[in-house]
Chains A and B, each alone.
Chain A
Amino acid sequence: MDENIISFKATVNGLILIMRDEDDFETIYEHIAQKLESSGRFFKGASMTVKYRGKKLTPEQEQKIAVLISKKAKMEIKGIEEDVSVPEPESDPESSQKTVNKPKMKLLFFKGLEEGLTKFHKGTVRSGRLISFDGNVVIIGDVNPGGEVIATGNVVVMGSLRGMVHAGADGNKEAIVAALSLQPTQLRIADVITRPPDTKEDRQGFIPELAFVKDDLVYIDRFLPQHM
């Protein structure tokens, strides 16, 4: 399967399907089916219009695609039409192996949470430093207040996390943040932002904890309960 035959772009107004003129309809149809197979559950329950560009479609072809998307992604298609707006310049969503600075929420976010590209940073992240990576990040040291770690994958801090951390920065809510001492000034996973409770508890020593998102809320769990 060629990754470049079709791509989807999610906007506030709906879904944009980008095709290439040189590909024939059958190939495009197959690729849409396959793509939705892997990431279709993202739209489950949604209701939106679909616009397309890159190739002219006949009304029957439009309908076939609309039905396919609605079935595979389990969403309601309010309409399907050609996109005539001027597309803004955008980076190829598939080429995400380079470092991004502050990634925006994407439809096709980093998925290597269990096995994926990881950056290892040795040393403490001091105030004013930003460690940003398109992948998972492991800090072997502390993250001081004023320091920031932004990763499209998981963030693991082998020390005290006291700064700002953003895991799943381009949209993956399954990303986790783990630390030997989890005391961030602010913690973000995908588009969920949270901060520590206002009452400061007395913490002596390391209490290894990890933060994860469930139903759009951040939960904290100890991951070595036997070592208290």
Chain B
Amino acid sequence: MGEVIVITSGKGGVGKTTTTANIGTGLALAGQKVVLVDTDIGLRNLDVVMGLENRIVYDLVDVVEGFCRVKQALIKDKRYEGLYLLPAAQTRDKTSVNPQQMMKLCQELKEEYDYILVDCPAGIEQGFKNAIAGADRAIVITTPEVSAVRDADRIVGLLEANELRNPKLLINRMRIDMVKRGDMMSIDDIIDILAIGLIGVVPDDERIVVSTNRGEPVINDEKSGAGQAYRNIVRRIKGEEVPFMSFDNDQGFMIKLKKLLGLKAD
């Protein structure tokens, strides 16, 4: 029986789609059977970021309306064994799907696949409600910015209200140099407000822009810091204990954290 993980944030542009693509790819590389589901109907991006947009024939709305079977709509990624994409519709909008349909779809997918990653759209309305409907777990993405954290806090509240307890936090686009200068929120600042478990911190990395444009998830890139962070996150999702990356030379994360607290200048 598989697991449905929704990747959400509230705020737009913080890295939900990129994270879904990379974690999905990473899990497939680790031998799991993975389906990525894009629920951002009308503004679909997951297909582009995965480099699969030319192969879309059927989409989520077609499946939910009974126009085709799920298997017909799933796109098999030829680069990674066990990785499939269920794209969103581009010419429809979020009212074309309702939470009950999503729940039924997730139940069906759980029977055959190990991980179903649901890419949630920005916002808190219909799109969000659809995306969380069939989910077992949630990952909340935020960047170290005050506005993103506010929105993430709202989302955590809504998830708790919908019985999705213990969401995990992923901090994206972290820039430790800016934190040191006191120009950016630190990991501690963010956890102080959100108060949920941390699943990973992904550093800001130019290579992400290149990878999403090319449709090649950065998790494959050995040289990328973000890629390394995603690789660690995939292992943590599978239940492994992986120490957090030190962004400094040879110091452990906890020592680094204490140093950051001492140097905090805001």
A126 within 8 A of B: yes
A24 to B153, alpha carbons, bound, how many Å?
59
A202 to B189, alpha carbons, bound, how many Å?
13
Q: Mark A140-152, 1 if CB is under 8 A from B, else 0.
A: 0010111000000
A227 within 8 A of B: no
CB atoms of A144 and B153 under 8 A apart: yes
Q: Mark B191-214, 1 if CB is under 8 A from A, else 0.
A: 011010000000000000000000
Given A144-B193, A145-B193, decide whether A126 and B266 contact each other with a Cβ distance below 8 A: no
Report the nearest B residue to A146, measured CB to CB.
B150
Chain B positions 138-169 with a Cβ under 8 Å from a chain A Cβ: 150-151, 153-154, 156-158, 160
A200 within 8 A of B: yes
B150, B156, B158, B195: the one within 8 Å of A145 (CB): B150
B61 to chain A, nearest CB (A): 29
A127 within 8 A of B: yes
**Which chain B residues border A202 with CB–CB below 8 Å?**
264, 266
B187 to chain A, nearest CB (A): 16
**Which chain B residues border A144 with CB–CB below 8 Å?**
153, 193
A149 to chain B, nearest CB (A): 14
**Which chain A residues border B266 with CB–CB below 8 Å?**
200, 202
Which of B158, B160, B193, B195 gathers most chain A CB within 10 Å? B193
**Which chain A residues border B153 with CB–CB below 8 Å?**
126-128, 144-146
A21 to B266, alpha carbons, bound, how many Å?
66
**Total number of residue pairs linking A and B with CB closer than 8 Å:** 31
A126 to B59, alpha carbons, bound, how many Å?
36
The SS class assigned to the B binding surface is helix
Q: Mark A83-126, 1 if CB is under 8 A from B, else 0.
A: 00000000000000000000000000000000000000000101
B136 to chain A, nearest CB (A): 22
Given A200-B266, A202-B266, decide whether A128 and B195 contact each other with a Cβ distance below 8 A: no
CB atoms of B154 and A146 under 8 A apart: yes
Which of A124, A126, A146, A160 gathers most chain B CB within 10 Å? A126
Report the nearest A residue to B193, measured CB to CB.
A144
A174 to chain B, nearest CB (A): 32
A142 to B193, alpha carbons, bound, how many Å?
8
CB atoms of B157 and A128 under 8 A apart: yes
A195 within 8 A of B: no
Report the nearest A residue to B157, measured CB to CB.
A126
A144 to B155, alpha carbons, bound, how many Å?
13
A124 to chain B, nearest CB (A): 6
A9 within 8 A of B: no
A144 to B195, alpha carbons, bound, how many Å?
11
B18 to chain A, nearest CB (A): 24
Chain B positions 196-236 with a Cβ under 8 Å from a chain A Cβ: none
Question: Considering the complex of A and B, which 4 residue pairs feature the smallest CB-CB distances, nearest first?
Answer: A126-B157, A127-B153, A128-B154, A127-B154
24 residue pairs bridging A and B, Cβ less than 8 Å apart = A124-B195, A126-B153, A126-B156, A126-B160, A127-B150, A127-B151, A127-B153, A127-B157, A128-B153, A128-B158, A129-B157, A142-B193, A144-B153, A144-B193, A145-B150, A145-B153, A145-B193, A146-B150, A146-B153, A146-B154, A160-B192, A162-B193, A202-B264, A202-B266
With A126-B157, A142-B193, A146-B153 already in contact, 14 other A-B pairs whose C-beta atoms are closer than 8 Å: A124-B195, A126-B160, A127-B151, A127-B154, A128-B153, A128-B154, A128-B157, A142-B195, A144-B153, A145-B153, A145-B193, A146-B150, A146-B154, A202-B266
